[in-house]
Chain A
Amino acid sequence: MKQVKVLGPGCRRCRTTAEMVQTEADRLGIDITIEKVTDYADIAGWGIAATPGIVVDGKVVHAGGLPKAEDIGKWLG
């Protein structure tokens, strides 16, 4: 079970990112839980400067803009 966090204040781009991660995990058959982190202080605590950010198992893998599907697969894999 991979713990994924999507960091972002709740804008559309952040929601899309969460959906993309879920879709990619389903496609690859990887079991994940997604938590949306929307609090500014919490987001900032992860050290990113642009949202949305993605954290997989406690490690920041992406910050700023929509991720690419093929990259998501690599982070989850």
Chain B
Amino acid sequence: MTTCCPAPIVAPPAVRHPAPWLIGTAGCLVAWCLVYAVLEPAATGLVALMPIEPGSRLAGAVAFFVYDTPKVLMLLTLVVFAMGVVRSFFSAERTRALLAGRREGLGNVAAAALGIVTPFCSCSAVPLFIGFVSAGVPLGVTFSFLIAAPMVNEIALGLLFALVGWKVALTYLVFGLAVAIVSGWVIGRLHLEGWLQDWVRTVRAGAIDLPDETITLVDRIRAGIDAVKDIVGKVWMWVIAGIALGALIHGYVPVDLVAAVMGRDAWWSVPAAVVIGIPMYSNAAGILPVVEALLDKGAALGTVLAFMMSVIALSAPEMIILRKVLTTRLIVVFVAVVGLGILAVGWMFNLLFA
């Protein structure tokens, strides 16, 4: 729920020939790979030049910060660009048409999956919610979409993949989708349509038939670049803050402490992580360096993933937006169901991957 109200993007004059765009994109990718390859030696060299005692806690923290900052920002840029291009193939209207009238069950699965790739910003959360419900998308299916869209996003997956490894990223994908599917299904089963705000139930949206817009390959590349300007331009501060926190954990928090508080033996740490994570709000890019540092220090995977999911999927600002369409009772149910789902994932993980 971070990509709200981006800075105005002034479209450059349309270039009709795709060749310069393709060559430019390929050139940027090659340059990206070259820079990424030398990041680690460059960072090590830079830290060695500083008047810090090698092997000290400070050195550990500084090295983490100096290496992780460019690394995370570069990975973020690449992932956001790629997803910007992918998202240009989808739209909220098309997703809604795919979901309208779907039965629960399969509908929840489809909604969660489409939540990953459909362009979505918190500005649009309320119109999207009403647009879905009034067009005949079942309430539970709409919730599956709304839970998956922020939680299982490309930033979370791309950075997990790059910083922690593909196994954890895949795990996060599967269990994030599972939480969205099951939570949405449960909310649908509870039949809480009466708990929407009154005005929402009276909205009757007609079907719309949008004219085709001309989308060329160049437009898709431009969509990727716009996404980078928009998202990276906005979340970089979160990233730096997250890396600074990660660096502190890396350098100064003792392994014993992390193991005792967030280790596998501490059964209470999963609920604690969820409860602390719910009101917290950070972008996935900000929380990932913290996740990386905690895992490094021996925190249990289930506990860390539960924390990450609750920070990203449930947040106070999101509740305030949703308050416009949902009654407080329904918001409480929503938070409780999703929170319990995340809790179950955390415990299951710590049990399975002992």
Contacts and interface: CB of A to CB of B under 8 A. Distances in A.
A19 B9 CA distance: 12
A42 to B, nearest CB: 9
Nearest to B205: A47
Contacts of B9: 16, 66
B214 A47 contact: no
B92 A47 contact: no
Interface in B28-55: none
B4 A47 contact: no
Given A8-B123, A63-B210, A46 B205 contact: yes
Contacts of A46: 205, 208
A60 B131 CA distance: 14
A66 B5 CA distance: 11
Given A50-B128, A51-B124, A64-B91, A12 B6 contact: yes
Contacts of A45: 203-205
Contacts, number: 109
Given A44-B203, A47-B135, A47-B206, A64 B130 contact: no
Interface residues of A, number: 35
A51 B123 contact: yes
Contacts of B123: 8-9, 11, 13-14, 51
Contacts of A71: 213-214
A50 B126 contact: no
Contacts of B135: 47, 49
Interface string B95-132: 11000000000000000000000011001101110111
Interface residues of B, number: 40
A65 B124 CA distance: 10
B131 A47 contact: yes
A70 B214 CA distance: 9
Nearest to A74: B211
Interface in B120-162: 120, 123-124, 126-128, 130-132, 134-135
B127 A43 contact: yes
A62 B93 CA distance: 10
A40 B130 CA distance: 9
B219 interface: yes
Contact of A68 (B95, B211, B213): B213
Contact of A63 (B91, B120, B202, B325): B91
Given A47-B205, A71-B213, A66 B11 contact: yes
A72 B218 CA distance: 18
Contacts of B7: 12
A13 B199 contact: no
A48 interface: yes
B126 A47 contact: no
Given A47-B207, A48-B208, A49-B135, 11 more contacts: A12-B7, A15-B8, A19-B8, A41-B202, A44-B134, A49-B92, A50-B91, A60-B210, A61-B211, A71-B214, A74-B211
Interface of B: 4-9, 11, 14, 91-93, 95-96, 119-120, 123-124, 126-128, 130-132, 134-135, 199, 202-208, 210-211, 213-214, 219, 324-325
Interface of A: 7-9, 11-16, 19, 40-41, 43-51, 60-71, 74-75
Q: Which 7 A-B pairs have the closest CB atoms?
A: A49-B131, A11-B5, A50-B92, A44-B130, A47-B205, A16-B8, A49-B92
